[in-house]
Amino acid sequence: MTAVLTPMHDDLRPNIELLARHCSALLSAGCSGLLLLGTTGEANSFTLRERRALLEAALAAGLPNDKLIVGTGCCALGDTIELTKHALSQGIARVLVLPPFYYKDVTDDGLFDAFATVIEEVADDRLRVLLYLIPQLTGIEMGVDLVTRLAKAFPGTVAGLKDSSGDWESTGALCRALGDTIDIMVGTEALLLQAMSAGASGCITAMGNLAAREIVELYEKRDTPEATARSGAINELRLALQTLPVIPALKAHLAQTTGDGSWRNVRPPLARINATE
Question: Among residues 39, 40, 138, 188, which one is catalytic?
Answer: 39
Beta sheet of 183-186, edge-to-edge order:
2-3, 34-36, 68-71, 94-97, 128-133, 158-163, 183-186, 202-203
Q: Is 132 a catalytic residue?
A: yes
Q: Is 152 a catalytic residue?
A: no
- Counting every residue written for the chain, the total comes to 277
Question: Among residues 2, 6, 80, 132, which one is catalytic?
Answer: 132
Judge if the upstream peptide bond of residue 269 is cis by omega within 30 degrees of 0: yes
For residue 132, what are the CA distances in angstroms to 122, 222, 244, 260? 18, 25, 24, 31
Question: Among residues 162, 171, 205, 219, which one is catalytic?
Answer: 162
The angle subtended at Cα 221 by Cα 216 and Cα 224, nearest 5°, is 160
Q: Is 39 a catalytic residue?
A: yes
Residues 6+ apart with CB under 8 A from 233: 214
The closest alpha carbon to 45, from 275, 258, 271, 274, belongs to: 271
The residues that are catalytic are 39, 102, 132, 162
